[in-house]
Amino acid sequence: MNRNSSWLQKAKEPRVLMRALIGVLLAANLAAAVDAFHPFGGSAADLRRQQASLRARLAAVQAHIAISKRLVDKAAAARRDGDRFLAKYVVDRQSASSAIYDELMKMAGEAGVRPLGTSDQYDEIEGSDTIEMLTIQAGYEGPYDKLATFVSLLDKSPRFLIIENMNLAAPSQAGQVLSVQFKLHTFVREVPKLQS
């Protein structure tokens, strides 16, 4: 208790009180100087630089968003174009054999060649769940000019027929009918079934 009373007696002395008051005033002056010369929010120049930096970042983000929107629009347009292409040139798997067979018969009739028979085979395409390749083996016979017309019709077919190869069996005598075996490719798509 002796220590507490000696401290209180010293605090009551005018010299100690003046020192404490000068210390408090000095601390207040230092705080006012820091606030005046270096505000806690930054100086006006610091705030302008920060504002310019934030505006530049905002412009960069808006440019990135605009580029992303253009990419999304291009992807949607590509998907629509792809769907239109598939609808126009690729046959549904359920009707592929009959549709291609009917198309080949029509072209053979227009060209004036006689069909010898067809066979087909479906092959999966790696990376696609909905599109398959249809390989068709087909034989035809007729004069050279009519077979040439038939090949031209195959080439211009709206069914996207690809001639893989042709094997021509030449006649043993001049003026006889030629026989040709075609290997054709086309693509078919599996249309998803609606679930009930």
pLDDT in tens, the chain (196 residues): 456 667 666 667 778 778 888 988 999 988 888 777 766 666 778 788 889 999 999 999 999 999 999 999 999 999 999 888 887 778 787 877 788 888 889 999 999 999 988 888 888 888 888 888 888 899 999 888 898 999 999 888 877 888 889 888 877 666 678 889 999 888 888 776 655 5
Tell me: the pLDDT tens digits for 116-148? 888 888 888 888 888 888 888 999 998 888 989
| Among candidate residues 119, 161, 113, 166, the one with its CA nearest the CA of residue 140 | 113
Q: Residue 133 — left, alpha, or beta (φ > 0 → left; ψ -120 to 50 → alpha)?
A: beta
Q: What is the pLDDT of residue 174?
A: 66
Q: What is the pLDDT of residue 7?
A: 62
Q: How far apart are CA 83 and CA 100, in angstroms?
A: 20
| Whole-structure pTM value | 0.57
Residue 171 DSSP SS3: coil
Q: How far apart are CA 164 and CA 137, in angstroms?
A: 10
Residue owning tokens 């040439």? 148
Q: What is the pLDDT of residue 3?
A: 60
Q: Are 131 and 123 in contact (CB under 8 A)?
A: no
Q: What is the pLDDT of residue 102?
A: 87
Q: What is the pLDDT of residue 85?
A: 85
Q: What is the CA radius of gyration of the chain?
A: 44
Q: How far apart are CA 69 and CA 6, in angstroms?
A: 79
- Tell me which H or E stretch contains 120: strand 114-124
Residue owning tokens 């009551």? 12
Q: Are strands 131-142 and 162-169 parallel, antiparallel or unpaired?
A: unpaired
Q: How far apart are CA 80 and CA 112, in angstroms?
A: 39
| Among candidate residues 133, 114, 113, the one with its CA nearest the CA of residue 122 | 133
Q: How many CB atoms lie within 10 A of CB 93?
A: 16
